[in-house]
Copies of this chain bind each other. A is one copy, B any other.
Amino acid sequence: MDAAVVLLSGGLDSSTTLAIAQTEGFRAHALTFAYRQRHEREVQAAREVARALGVDDHRVLNLDLRELGGSALTDESVEVPMARELDEISDGIPETYVPARNTIFLSYALAWAEVIDAGTIFIGATALDFSGYPDCRPEFFQAFEEAARLGTRRGVDGRPVQIRHPLMALTKGAIVQRAVELGVPLARTWSCYLGEAEACGLCDACQLRLKGFQEAGVLDPLPYRRYPDWYPQPPGPPP
């Protein structure tokens, strides 16, 4: 079995991606970043998801992206956009964009891949229900893969690391369906940008997540403080 590095934030998408990598037979080495993000609660979610899915290894790296600033997720002085309409969420690059975050995350994943001799990196980026982040697009990953080929020992040896983003073409609804099929512990995942005791239900991350559950016809087991108007199901007990 080949080893793979899986970027695991603890959210719906990356947790599902981890389950996909395992289903494909990879020995999953999950990598999580505690970057003093506003929603550091997701790091705990990542630990629980990794344990529940039985990964081969899980590392949590401490990064200080606040030192550089520039995002609502790492800079207290920038506000998280709330209660936007769904069609606004895909419109332009939002304040929650963390400059070069995926480039930084992939760089560490690449370093770990070199060390453990993994030929694949999995990342849970999606193009549909697009977050508006430029570093979630397939053309970015392709260019990064090429840089990785040229800049690593594996690449020089003719065994370049591949970057896989199996959710890219899936809707949020299809991701939720896939997560349910694969037994992803949805109650342990975390998406809300605010990172409080209950999910807020109104930030972009909450709304995209709830849209997925709505499309899939599945109740989101997470506690929400409130729900967007369009979310049809009243909060009920977890399924």
Binding site for B on A (CB under 8 A): 59, 61-65, 67-70, 93, 97-104, 106-108, 110-112, 114-115, 134-135, 137, 139-140, 143-144, 146-153, 155-156
Q: Tell me the bound Cα distance from A149 to B115 in angstroms.
A: 28
Beta-carbon contact of A64 and B64 below 8 Å: no
Q: How far is the CA of A140 from the CA of B150 in the complex (A)?
A: 5
Contact yes or no, B151 A100, CB < 8 A: yes
* A79 CA to B148 CA, complexed, in Å: 25
A103/B110 in contact, CB under 8 A: yes
Q: Is the CB of B99 within 8 A of A114?
A: yes
List residues of chain B with CB within 8 A of the CB of A114: 70, 99-100
Q: Is the CB of B107 within 8 A of A104?
A: yes
Closest 9 CB pairs of A and B: A99-B114, A70-B115, A135-B151, A100-B111, A143-B147, A140-B151, A140-B150, A104-B107, A103-B107
Nearest-Cβ distance from residue A229 to partner chain B, whole angstroms = 31
Contact yes or no, A147 B59, CB < 8 A: no
Contact present for B68 and A151 (CB under 8 Å):
no
Chain B residues in 8 Å Cβ range of A103? 107, 110-111, 147-148, 151-152
B140 near A147: Cβ-Cβ < 8 Å: yes
| Alpha-carbon distance between A63 and B146 when the two chains are bound, in angstroms | 24
